Chain A
Amino acid sequence: MRNTITMHLVLLVVLLLSTTAWAQQSGALGAWQNPDIGFVYDLKFDMHNAEVDENGNHIWKTRGFNISSAEFNIGADLDPYARIDFNAMFSHEGAEIHELYVTGHSLPLSLKARAGQHLASFGRWNQFHSHSMPFASEPRILHEYLGGHLMSTGLELSWLAPTDHYIEVFGSVFNGLHGHTHDTDPTSSSAAYGPGNPPPGCHFHDGELHCPDDPEAAHLYNLMQDDPHGPVQPGTNKGISDMAWLGRLQTSLEMGLDWSIDLGTSVVYQDHWRYSQRFDGTTYSKTTMGVDVTVFWNPVEMNLYRGMDFGVEYMCNRQQNEVENDDYWSKHTYVRDGAFTWARYRLNRTWDFGTYFEDFAPSEGNERRQRVGGFLTWNVSHYQRIRLEYVHDDRGMHADGVDQVILQFDGVIGYHTHGRQR
Chain B
Amino acid sequence: MRNNLKKLMLMFAFMALANAGLAEVKIVASIPDLGVMADRVGGERIKLTVLASGREDLHGVPARPSFIPKLHKADLLLTLGLDAEHAWLPALAAEARNISIMEDREGWIEVYEGVELLDVPEVISRAEGEQHAEGNPHINIGPQNGRIMAENIAYALMDFDPEGSDYYDDNLTEYCAELDAFAASIKSRGSSLAGQKVISYHADISYLAKFYGMEVIGTLEPKPGIEPTARHLARLAKEAKAKGVSLVIYNQAQPSNLPHKFAQRIDAVSVKIGNMVGAISEVDNWQKRQQYNLDQLLEGAGQ
Residues of chain A whose beta carbon lies under 8 Å from any beta carbon of chain B: 80-81, 105-107, 110-112, 160-166, 168, 251-252, 254, 257, 260, 262, 296, 298, 300-305, 348-350, 381-383, 413, 417, 419-420, 422
Contact = CB atoms under 8 A, between A and B. Distances in A.
Nearest to A350: B227
Q: Chain B binding site: helix, strand, loop or mixed by DSSP?
A: loop
B229 to A, nearest CB: 10
A348 B64 contact: no
A210 B126 CA distance: 38
A165 B67 CA distance: 9
10 contacts: A105-B94, A166-B65, A252-B65, A254-B66, A301-B55, A303-B253, A305-B255, A381-B129, A413-B126, A422-B62
Contact of A262 (B65, B72, B253): B65
B94 A166 contact: no
Contacts of B225: 381-382
A105 B97 contact: yes
Contacts of A164: 69
B97 to A, nearest CB: 5
B68 interface: yes
Given A105-B99, A260-B62, A304-B57, 19 more contacts: A162-B69, A163-B69, A168-B68, A252-B65, A260-B64, A260-B66, A296-B62, A301-B56, A303-B61, A303-B253, A304-B60, A305-B254, A348-B255, A349-B227, A417-B91, A420-B63, A420-B91, A420-B94, A422-B62
Given A304-B253, A305-B255, A257 B53 contact: yes
B62 A298 contact: yes
B99 A419 contact: no
Contact of A302 (B96, B97, B126, B255): B255
B253 A383 contact: no
Contact of A165 (B60, B69, B226, B255): B69
Interface in B82-104: 91-92, 94-97, 99, 102
Interface string B133-166: 0000000000000000000000000000000000
Contact of B72 (A81, A160, A383): A160
B26 interface: no
Contacts of A80: 99
A252 B95 CA distance: 14
Q: How large is the interface on B (under 10, 10 to 19, 20 to 34, 35 or more residues)?
A: 20 to 34
Which secondary structure dominates chain A's binding surface?
Answer: loop
Contacts of B97: 105, 107, 110-112, 160
Contact of A105 (B53, B91, B102, B253): B102
Given A300-B53, A303-B57, A304-B253, A166 B66 contact: yes
A420 B56 CA distance: 18
A110 B92 CA distance: 14
Instruction: Kindly list the 5 A-B residue pairs having the minimum CB-CB distance in the complex, ordered from nearest.
Output: A304-B60, A252-B65, A420-B91, A298-B62, A166-B65
B59 interface: yes
Contacts of A163: 69
Interface of B: 53, 55-57, 59-66, 68-69, 72, 91-92, 94-97, 99, 102, 126, 129-130, 225-227, 252-255
Q: For B57, B62, B129, B252, which residue has the most chain A Cβ atoms within 10 angstroms?
A: B62
A382 B130 contact: yes
A166 B69 CA distance: 6
Contacts of B253: 301-304
A406 to B, nearest CB: 24
B94 A254 contact: no
Contacts of B129: 381
A8 B279 CA distance: 53
B68 A160 contact: yes
Contacts of A105: 94, 97, 99, 102
Contact of A419 (B62, B95, B252): B95
Nearest to A262: B65
A363 B92 CA distance: 39
A166 B99 contact: no
A349 B254 CA distance: 11
Contacts of B252: 301
Contacts of B65: 166, 251-252, 260, 262, 420
B107 to A, nearest CB: 13
